[in-house]
C-alpha cells in the first residue's frame, strides 16, 4: 500500500491513512500489551488489519444470529489485542444482541462496526507507514 499518491499536477493527494487518527489505536495500551516489543506490536497490527476484513465478511454473511455473534466476539477479542477500543465495543454490541433483535438493530450495529473497523484500519495503516518510514 502506497499512501503517497500524486495527481497530474504533481501535488500529493492525501488519502485516509495520511491523517493521524489519535485515540483509535491506544498506542500506550498496545505498548503495555506487547511489553514494549515494537516488532510484536507491528505484527499484531498487521494481522488485525488483514483479518478484520475477513471477520466483517463472516458477520455480514452469517446465516443466523449465533454465527454472527460468534464472529463478532472473535473480532472484539482481536480488537482488544491491538488496543482498538472502538472496534471492541462495536463488535461487543453485536456479540450481545439477542436472536429476537430486529433486522434494523442488526443493520445499525453492523454499520457502526464497519465504520469502527475502517477507522482502525486507517489508523493502523498510518502507524505502520509511519513506523516503516520513520525511526521506529
In a domain, 41, yes or no: no
In a domain, 111, yes or no: yes
List the grid coordinates of 24.
483509535
Q: Which domain holds residue 77?
A: 51-136
In a domain, 10, yes or no: no
pLDDT digits (tens, 9 = 90+) for 49-106: 999 999 999 999 998 889 999 999 999 999 999 999 999 999 999 999 998 888 899 8
pTM of the model: 0.79
- What burial letters (b/e) apply to 43-78, b meaning 16+ CB within 10 Å? ebbeebbeebeebbeebeebeeeeebbebbebbbeb
The domain total for the chain is 1
In a domain, 102, yes or no: yes
In a domain, 6, yes or no: no
In a domain, 64, yes or no: yes
In a domain, 37, yes or no: no
Amino acid at each position: 500500500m502506497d499512501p503517497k499518491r500524486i495527481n497530474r499536477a504533481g501535488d500529493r493527494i492525501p488519502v485516509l491513512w495520511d491523517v493521524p487518527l489519535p485515540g483509535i489505536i491506544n498506542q500506550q495500551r498496545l505498548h503495555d500489551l506487547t511489553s514494549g516489543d515494537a516488532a510484536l506490536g507491528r505484527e499484531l497490527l498487521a494481522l488485525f488489519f488483514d483479518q478484520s476484513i475477513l471477520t466483517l465478511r463472516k458477520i455480514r454473511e452469517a446465516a443466523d444470529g449465533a454465527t454472527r455473534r460468534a464472529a463478532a466476539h472473535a473480532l472484539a477479542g482481536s480488537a482488544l489485542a491491538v488496543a482498538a477500543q472502538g472496534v471492541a465495543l462495536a463488535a461487543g454490541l453485536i456479540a450481545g444482541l439477542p436472536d429476537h433483535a430486529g433486522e434494523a438493530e442488526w443493520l445499525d450495529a453492523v454499520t457502526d462496526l464497519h465504520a469502527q473497523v475502517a477507522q482502525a484500519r486507517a489508523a493502523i495503516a498510518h502507524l505502520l507507514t509511519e513506523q516503516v518510514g520513520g525511526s521506529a
